[in-house]
Amino acid sequence: MTHRTIPGDEPLRVVLAGAGSMGRAWLSTIVAAPDVELVAVADIDPDTARSATAAAGWPDLPVGADAVALAATTGAHAVVDATVPEAHHPVTTAALFAGLAVLGEKPVAATLAQALSLAAAAEVTGELFMVSQSRRWNPQLFALRAMAADLGALGTLTTEFFRAPRFGGFREEMAHPLLVDMAIHPFDSARFVLGAEPVAAYCEAYNPSWSWYDGAAAATAVFEMEGGIRYVYTGSWCSPGAETSWNGVWRVSGEKGSARWDGDTGPVLDADVLPAERSPSPYSGIAGALQVFAEALRTGSTPMGEVHENVLSLAMVEAAVRSAESGRRVLIDDVLDQAHEQALREETHADVRAALAGWTSVRSALTA
Ligand SMILES: NC(=O)c1ccc[n+]([C@@H]2O[C@H](COP(=O)([O-])OP(=O)(O)OC[C@H]3O[C@@H](n4cnc5c(N)ncnc54)[C@H](O)[C@@H]3O)[C@@H](O)[C@H]2O)c1
């Protein structure tokens, strides 16, 4: 997809929307980024925005409740959307239609239907919408992906994720905290490592007897990926002792050998092959995502995480939840088609609705 670019000789001017815990991480990242200028901070609660700018040492930065209004008065090019998931659709839609590019936090939107609407809104407006899936921007994950490419045909990819955080708040009240809030990261990384898209999901989600969560704090999911590869995720958010890293523990099993990654240190190749020479990824974390976003806005290139490319990670989450609730294997294309029908029913922008209606296949609209 082509998108509008900005002149290469001026800084990228950014409004940050959402000044909560992730917003504060973005605030310091934007301020530190070369050739990027933070021009304002929006939060639905302007006092939250003011205290975040003051804490970061920028007490005079303009703040307000509306990111688009602040962008208009400050001449911004783009919005970084670090609001709560339910606000991603309205905040990002308003920004795209105001002629602003958007770099959004994961998940792309609160529902898959809203995610499809945002992909269509990017098409209609010609603005770049990229999703920052922060754990994908990990040089060690890039190295694991390179090793996977050396293993010949691939059979199985596994992730084990076992931790025992006590967050309090909304995560302890969600029906599927592990799948919806956390597992989207490894699901997204699995697509990246395998270079293969999901076909079907079977998942069991459950809550161990000692869990301090209301919903399913543990889950095991098996995804069929393109080419018949299986991706197996098993995790728990109430598993004290022998905790894995926050990235989880990974194994790729292929025709010529295996690669393992503990999620914290460099991956290890165990295969009778001569690994191809590859330079390490220069991008890391949300700073890497911001750098790639800025480059894409200057060059017109399509960045990793462009909305169309990101949506299938959320589709994996919705398919896993649906499988866990129904006890059935779920086809990703069925999940996409139902989300498309819902998006057409809910869409209020006539031209976004027309763009959605023009998609003959959701998968091909996302992967073209
Ligand atoms: N990549 C990661 O590792 C990672 C980690 C944590 C959170 N996140 C994501 O970051 C996002 C924010 O999470 P958080 O933990 O910072 O939440 P938070 O609740 O701490 O902060 C969200 C902020 O958004 C504000 N907000 C809500 N609606 C708004 C609107 N319409 N306009 C402007 N501001 C609005 C809230 O007032 C709040 O200050 C979520 O999408 C979450 O999934 C990502």
Exposed, middle or buried, 249 (CB in 10 Å: 0-12/13-18/19+)?
A: middle
Rounded CA-CA distance 112/118 in Å is 10
Q: Which of 108, 75, 52, 32 is nearest to 290 (CA)?
A: 32
Which of 84, 136, 179, 189 has most ligand 1 atoms within 8 Å of its beta carbon, as the pocket-test mutant? 84
Q: Which of 55, 51, 81 is nearest to 63 (CA)?
A: 51
Confirm or reject: Cβ of 82 under 6 Å from ligand 1. yes
Count of H helices and E strands in the chain?
13, 14
pLDDT of residue 274: 87
Distance 132 CA to ligand 1 centre (A): 13
Atom of ligand 1 nearest to the CA of 85: 41
* Gyration radius of the chain over CA positions: 20
Q: Which helix (H) or strand (E) holds 13?
A: strand 12-17
Extract the residue ranges of the chain whose pLDDT is less than 50.
none
Residue nearest to atom 2 of ligand 1 (CA): 134
Q: Tens of pLDDT along 286-295?
A: 999 999 999 9
pLDDT of residue 38: 98
Contact in structure between 232 and 221 (CB atoms under 8 Å): yes
pLDDT of residue 275: 83
Residue type, 21: S
Q: Is 128 helix (H, G, I), strand (E, B) or coil?
A: coil
Confirm or reject: Cβ of 19 under 6 Å from ligand 1. yes
306 DSSP assignment: B
Confirm or reject: Cβ of 43 under 6 Å from ligand 1. yes
Atom of ligand 1 nearest to the CA of 104: 41
Boundaries of every domain in the chain: 12-135+285-308+330-367, 139-271
Q: 12-135+285-308+330-367 in CATH: which number?
A: 3.40.50.720
Locate 113 and state its tokens. 């239907």
CATH architecture of 139-271: 2-Layer Sandwich (3.30)
Distance 108 CA to ligand 1 centre (A): 12
Q: Which of 58, 46, 286, 261 is nearest to 143 (CA)?
A: 261
Rounded CA-CA distance 87/23 in Å is 13
171 DSSP assignment: G
Q: Is 262 helix (H, G, I), strand (E, B) or coil?
A: coil
Confirm or reject: Cβ of 306 under 6 Å from ligand 1. no
CA distances to 77, 141, 193, 254 from 270, in Å: 46, 16, 16, 10
My answer on whether omega of the bond before 107 falls inside 30° of 0, hence cis, is yes
Q: Tens of pLDDT along 259-281?
A: 999 999 999 999 999 888 888 88
pLDDT of residue 277: 84
Q: Is 276 helix (H, G, I), strand (E, B) or coil?
A: coil
Distance 24 CA to ligand 1 centre (A): 10
Q: Which of 178, 185, 175 is nearest to 164 (CA)?
A: 178
pLDDT of residue 276: 82
| DSSP3 helix / strand / coil % (the chain, rounded to 5) | 45, 20, 35
Confirm or reject: Cβ of 42 under 6 Å from ligand 1. yes
Confirm or reject: Cβ of 106 under 6 Å from ligand 1. yes
pLDDT of residue 95: 98
Rounded CA-CA distance 26/198 in Å is 30
Rounded CA-CA distance 332/330 in Å is 6
pLDDT of residue 170: 87
- Cross-strand partners of 218: 206, 236
Locate 1 and state its tokens. 């997809």
Residue type, 47: D
Q: Which helix (H) or strand (E) holds 162?
A: strand 154-162
pLDDT of residue 208: 98
